[in-house]
Structure 1
Amino acid sequence: MGRSSSRAVIRTDFSRGEQVTAYGWLCLGAAMSALLCLVYLDAHIGSVAVPYPIVLAFLFNLVLTRTALLWTGRVWLALIPVACWVLVLLGLGLGVEMLSSVLTANKIRALALVLSGLIGGLVPALRS
């Protein structure tokens, strides 16, 4: 019996269409993540504020950038989903009246959310 290798095999023979579709899905996921992070930024358990979307934004954008780096070797292309996340977050936070109250009422948490999302997205890009 042969031994199976535990090394990951990364496929690199994809078409431009597959790459564009992958980035479309990554940007859609980033947009949904931004919406959910903004909606749940003011989460409370009882009377205690629990801003768990700050941690989730870091982790999710970390995964987004790592996944984007699988599709390209160019760092600036891998940052497209993170840029989408930031633009959707700021667009919703500043443009939608119902969600803008979340940003204005929780300025420190909102700043922490944006920074954690940016840092989570930039860490894999800077390491590559």
Structure 2
Amino acid sequence: MQEVSSPIYRSEFSTGELISGLSWLGVGAIASLILEVVYLGTWLHVGQVALPFPWTIPVAFGFNMVLTRTARLWSERPVLAAVPLIVWCVGFFILLMWPAVTGNQLLGTNMRVVVLLMAGIAGGMWPLIRPQ
């Protein structure tokens, strides 16, 4: 009978690998933020009834959780592990302030935007508060 060996995790990284890994996680955070904002105003049409269906709110929670948990694999330091969350939050606030610069409003003025922000922060903070 063959023994099943446990996976081997690499824990030694060069500084360049760490910066590269966290940079790609930051790019993923920005890409997810843009998609979450674009599809936040989704409506679900059921017959003659149209219902708001902000499916990107749970996506923001879950994807930010995955990004932060992945960042924890790169670094045990909470500040470095929070890089994807910080990038996501900075991007969110840039989109929030965008009308002051260009006049084009990208985020609506409704409760869905507030809930998206809270869900994104909560999902990103969860792996930092409860590491496993």
**TM-score by structure 2 length?**
0.87
AA of the residue aligned to 1:83: I
Q: Secondary structure at the match of 2:106?
A: helix
Which blocks of at least 5 consecutive residues in structure 2 are unaligned? none
Q: Where in structure 1 do 4 or more consecutive aligned residues deviate above 2 Å?
A: none
- Cα offset, 1:125, TM superposition: 0.4
> 2:93 matched to 1:90?
yes
1:45-64 aligned within 5 A = 45-46=44-45, 47-64=50-67
Q: Secondary structure at the match of 1:2?
A: coil
> 2:102 matched to 1:99?
no
Aligned to 2:4: 4
1:111-122 aligned within 5 A = 111-122=114-125
CA–CA distance in structure 2, aligned partners of residues 91 and 60 of structure 1: 20
- Cα offset, 1:92, TM superposition: 1.6
Contact 1:75 1:125 in 2 (8 A): yes
CA–CA distance in structure 2, aligned partners of residues 2 and 120 of structure 1: 40
CA–CA distance in structure 1, aligned partners of residues 8 and 69 of structure 2: 15
CA–CA distance in structure 2, aligned partners of residues 91 and 16 of structure 1: 29
Which structure's residues are more often helix, by fraction?
A: 1
CA–CA distance in structure 1, aligned partners of residues 24 and 80 of structure 2: 14
Which one has the largest radius of gyration?
2
CA–CA distance in structure 2, aligned partners of residues 93 and 40 of structure 1: 16
Contact 1:65 1:124 in 2 (8 A): yes
CA–CA distance in structure 2, aligned partners of residues 19 and 125 of structure 1: 18
Cα deviations by residue, 1:56-105 (Å, 9 ceiling, x for unpaired):
000000000100000001011111110100111221232051413x2x1x
- Cα offset, 1:40, TM superposition: 0.7
Instruction: Determine which structure has greater relative contact order: mean sequence separation of CA pairs < 8 Å that are 6+ residues apart, divided by chain length.
Output: 1
Alpha carbons of structure 1 residues 33 and 40: separation in structure 2 relative to 1, 3 Å: same
Contact 1:35 1:92 in 2 (8 A): no
What is the total number of aligned residue pairs between the two structures? 123
Cα RMSD of the aligned pairs, angstroms, is 1.3
